[in-house]
Amino acid sequence: MHEKSKNNATQDELQEVMDDTNRPIALLSRDEVHRQLLPHRSVQILVYDQQNKLFLQKRSARKRFYPGRWDVSARGHTLPQESNLDAAQRILSSELRLEVDRLNLIRQFPSCPETGYEFVSIFTTPKITQLPAPNGDEVEDGYFFTSEELTCLIKDFRELLTPGLVTLWESGLAFPF
């Protein structure tokens, strides 16, 4: 696979660079945005089952960042001119093949080093009854975890988790009910 120049980047490889107030000011390749640590947008989606267990995905071994680690249910970048809600629905469908009637925005984080310079919007789904069907190109595996199980992972096996999942747990948002 050859590396594309930023002039040849496809639409889904482009990322909006945001100003300090979360307004778009430029359009660059995702690689360039990450290389320069520029502020940009992303979404995270938390999926719960009827027993309030949180679905965590095990990231594909082919992922550039944190391959093979456990992460939030679904996450990804917004596309240029895409709303956070539309991005969340697209990513949920793409990564877990889940379609839901509504998503609830529970928190937004500002761009900072702890978020990877991303303005992060966190959504939850209504409690689902169907099982996620992870897209093997994006997600290696998945499992529903209780609050106690996730706490054990955080305390004893932190190196198996993405920093974003740890930050979410530390902020009290992994199990907000």
> 100: domain range?
39-170
Asked if the model's pLDDT at residue 7 lies above 50, the reply is no
Asked if residue 136 is part of any domain, the answer here is yes
pLDDT digits (tens, 9 = 90+) for 91-146: 999 999 999 989 999 999 999 998 889 999 999 999 999 899 999 988 999 999 99
Asked if residue 103 is part of any domain, the answer here is yes
Average pLDDT, the chain: 91
- Please count the structural domains in the chain: 1
Cα-atom radius of gyration of the chain, to the nearest Å?
A: 16
Looking at residue 114, its pLDDT comes to 84
pLDDT digits (tens, 9 = 90+) for 39-68: 999 999 999 999 999 999 999 999 888 999
Asked if residue 159 is part of any domain, the answer here is yes
Coil, strand, or helix at residue 154?
Answer: helix
CATH number of the domain residue 100 falls in:
3.90.79.10
Looking at residue 143, its pLDDT comes to 96
Coil, strand, or helix at residue 7?
Answer: helix
Asked if residue 76 is part of any domain, the answer here is yes
